[in-house]
Chain A
Amino acid sequence: MKLFKSSLLTLALAATSTWVNAQSLAITNATVHTAGEQGVLQNATVIVEGGKITAINPESVSADTVIDAEGKNLTPGIINAMNNLGLVEVGAVSRSRDAGAKSADITFDPSLAFNPKSTVIAYTRKGGITSSMVSPRGGDNMFKGQIFHADLSGGFDSVRVANNAVYLELGAESKGSRATNLQKLMNKLSDFQDKMAKAKKDDKKESELKRDEKVLEALLSGEKLMVVYADRASELLNIIKLKEQFGLNIAISSAADAVVVAEQLAKAEVPVIINALDNLPSSFDALNTSLDNAAKLTEAGVKVVMTSGGDTHNMYQLRFNAGNAIANGLSREQALEAITSNVAEVFGLNTGEIAVGKTADLVLWSADPFELSTKVDKIWIDGKEVSTQSRSDKLRDRYMATSDMPRAYTK
């Protein structure tokens, strides 16, 4: 046990002060799963100030609020990726959907439609998810638009990074050939390169670039991530070639048959974003899916990000997907990284790890974070504690209450 010189002060503050942003928090006596280089720290203390992690295991603890974790597991908040959180309230209610547009192109920014008050958000916190890489969906263009990073605080300032990455889809086509989009993409990139080379020669200024060209420029400079949807192994090799030819920063989403080319993906440092529960041959592009693919890919040196496979309303379950991946060969540390630090690394986020300087997105679990019987005890987003109560809890309480009046009077 650590000694808290601040305990009296904490009590006084709790009694008198309302929340201020700069208030400090100490989580003590936790089993800290850093998802980073420090691995797992026993009986550790994490200090949070101004929404950031400012210290781990300091010599002495001084904080406005001290939480004794009683040895329980503290992990980084889980980051889900490639979903439509905040962009869809009810799937079949067209006017509650904002994730895609027929005319969407490479510049489409769905973060402008993000609704932090969606009931899905509070519900999703039950899964210890603190932020999400929200992606556009649909549209005629192979470029679906821009992926953004939003936290699950429910505040109007939830969007942390708009236009974080470009999302595009390659692969099987109902009409025509999959070759068309790949060819278009290669032409688009090389035409733009040629144009830039010519402009440089003619000494033209960058300000003459159109909006979509600015995105291409960011992709070609490698500063912006391009997430490409593809499944078939031969297609994944094509994407590796693209990366090498144009110097792109690429991650592959879905990547059903990645195990077939795991070595090549590892060598080319192309991460994959997969649903670890995909184990059926869902198409002719996905004939090598298996519950142990997350383990096999990780073993081969591929950086694996796990997602809940586009299921926005139940993306809270991501930790269970990770648990199933553990049951099928992944280590506990690797599984945690695949839903926290790996996501942050691939998308360039300052969260997903318990380390000094990172945003304080944290979850304290009642027990093993991956187990069905475990629940979120406490969850902090940007250093602030948030609730896991959602609309469904209200409904349950209403219908479990005893009353001789109609249920509508139970609120």
Chain B
Amino acid sequence: MQKFVPTLLVAGMSLALTACMQSEKQDPRVSINKNPFPSSYKALPSSATLLKNATVLTGTGERLENSDVLLVDGKIAEIGQNLSKSNATEVDATGKWITPGIIDVHSHLGVYPSPSVESHSDGNEMTGPNTSEVWAEHGIWPQDPGFEAARAGGITTLQILPGSANLFGGRGVTLRNVPSHTMQGMKFPEAPYGLKMACGENPKRVYGSRKVAPSTRMGNMAGYRMAFAEAAEYKRAWDKYNADYDAGKNPTAPTRDIELDTLMGVLDGDIMIHNHCYKAEEMAMMIDLGKEFNYHSGTFHHAIEGYKIADLLAENGNCAAMWPDWWGFKMEAYDMVQENVAIVDGKPNSCAIVHSDSSSTIQRLNQEAGKIMFRANENGFSLKEEDAITWITYNAAKSLGVEKTTGSLEVGKNADVVLWNQSPFSVYAQAEQVFVDGAKVYDRFDDKYQAKSDFLLGQE
């Protein structure tokens, strides 16, 4: 795995530096383009919209009765009672509920699309335990009909992650859930990249069965540490190059390494960790691993045993993304409790999230959150709708680093909004209208706002 050989390079650089101590002409600075596949997303056409007289869950823990939400120029313009706005499209939302657009931090739409065919199985580069060099966005098929189905369930933002076969699965990408025939057309403009890491059974099974490392959890930890040690050297080499260049010298740039670029991005704080990690003892070690290499250990995904270390997660500022009830498919998923999310959520400064990892339940994250709220309330909690909604809106936005622009209904934020026919925590709840950046992208009762994938055209 050691592709980067720091000692030789550093030696070479110091030679070069000694040779050119005298201020000579500087070569052009070598820099890394951090955004080579930039977003081309543009909000769909919209006009001012005034949603009247609804129960509003803000995503910040508040519930407003008989309230209006005004969307103007793609932003939340006003929230309150008896609002009016000339030329706005008014929607009578009496008896209905309004929430922020739903966010799923863990999806494989596009990289494991429907139909499930070999030709589109692009989510897991299972050719080595460290594939930090691969990017999920390069495997996305934007025509996955799952995006449409998720939109009908109120999903406005979602992170597409590589799979969990590898210790480092590659970069994840955050998308706006709008129809587009290019990935860039969906890409969330300001969102930072994520790096998918995986603990536990998957990497050791995939590589152990091939008789290569890792074949144990010891091997997993060793693999992360070796990679970050190498990344730290790489970062030092680049930092030194930049410092020397800034000092007027003419240093030789380190050899570019796409894999280490990603890990350096983590060390620089540009890329957020999204760590598939089920078990309490493993999450505790991953938190320490981040401290060892001076990066933040980020969000734990599928944190089945989050409830065992709820304090630790909150103290260290880790989000935990969880299912309500998936269990039993592996030993590491054996200790599920249905109140997991509520227990993690119960600590001060916590960040509990409900995620899907499924093309089916992504369509009903509201119901997934509802199940948790009701089960927890049967067992000592007193959670309300305004609390539960944060698990699939604000907290999810925070995990993705986009909480300044989306995830809650606050004046000035992006108008990502769902209008529900009733409380979203009912089994009968349905999203009636969905807005992304103030533009209607879905209407349950208007075919004009029901997009259809290329794939489904002309099929019988």
Interface residues of A (CB under 8 A from B): 88-93, 120, 260, 277-284, 286-287, 312-314, 316-317, 320, 323-324, 326-327, 370-373, 375, 392-393, 395-396, 399-400, 407
Contact = CB atoms under 8 A, between A and B. Distances in A.
Interface stretch (B283-291, B295-303, B335-343): B335-343
B328 A281 contact: no
B426 interface: yes
B460 interface: yes
Closest 5 CB pairs of A and B: A323-B427, A313-B328, A91-B329, A280-B114, A396-B337
Interface stretch (B14-22, B30-38, B211-219, B372-380): B372-380
A313 B326 CA distance: 8
B334 interface: yes
Q: Which size bracket describes the interface of B in this complex?
A: 35 or more
B330 interface: yes
Contacts of B117: 283-284
A279 B455 CA distance: 15
Nearest to B118: A174
B371 interface: yes
A314 B326 contact: yes
B201 A92 contact: yes
A56 to B, nearest CB: 28
Given A120-B328, A313-B328, A314-B326, 5 more contacts: A281-B459, A283-B116, A320-B367, A320-B427, A400-B339
A278 B149 CA distance: 11
B428 A323 contact: yes
Given A282-B115, A373-B374, A375-B378, A277 B360 contact: yes
11 contacts: A89-B328, A91-B328, A93-B331, A283-B117, A287-B456, A316-B325, A324-B364, A327-B428, A370-B427, A396-B339, A399-B343
A315 B117 CA distance: 26
B329 A313 contact: yes
Contacts of B363: 279
A92 B360 CA distance: 22
B359 interface: yes
A393 B379 CA distance: 9
B174 interface: no
B374 A392 contact: no
Contacts of B336: 392
Tell me what chain B mostly uses at the interface: helix, strand, loop, or mixed. loop
B381 to A, nearest CB: 9
B117 to A, nearest CB: 8
A291 to B, nearest CB: 9
Interface string B196-228: 000001000100000000000000000000000
A91 to B, nearest CB: 4
B339 A90 contact: no
B366 to A, nearest CB: 10
B425 A280 contact: no
B380 A400 contact: yes
Tell me what chain A mostly uses at the interface: helix, strand, loop, or mixed. loop
B426 A372 contact: yes
Contacts of B330: 90-92
A281 B456 contact: yes
A90 B334 contact: yes
Contacts of A375: 374, 378
A314 B115 contact: no
Interface string B140-161: 0000011001000000000000
A375 B373 CA distance: 13
A89 B455 CA distance: 39
A120 B334 CA distance: 10
Given A90-B331, A371-B427, A399 B338 contact: no
B308 A90 contact: no
Given A371-B426, A371-B427, A372-B370, A281 B327 contact: no
Interface string B376-408: 001110000000000000000000000000000
Contacts of A323: 427-428
B430 interface: yes
B97 interface: no
Given A280-B145, A314-B327, A392-B337, A372 B371 contact: yes
A383 B459 CA distance: 50
A399 B308 contact: yes
B193 interface: no
A370 B370 CA distance: 13
B370 A314 contact: no
A391 to B, nearest CB: 8
B335 A281 contact: no
A209 to B, nearest CB: 40
B327 A313 contact: yes
B5 to A, nearest CB: 38
A372 B379 CA distance: 15
Contacts of A316: 325
Contacts of B429: 327
A317 B327 CA distance: 13
A286 B146 CA distance: 14
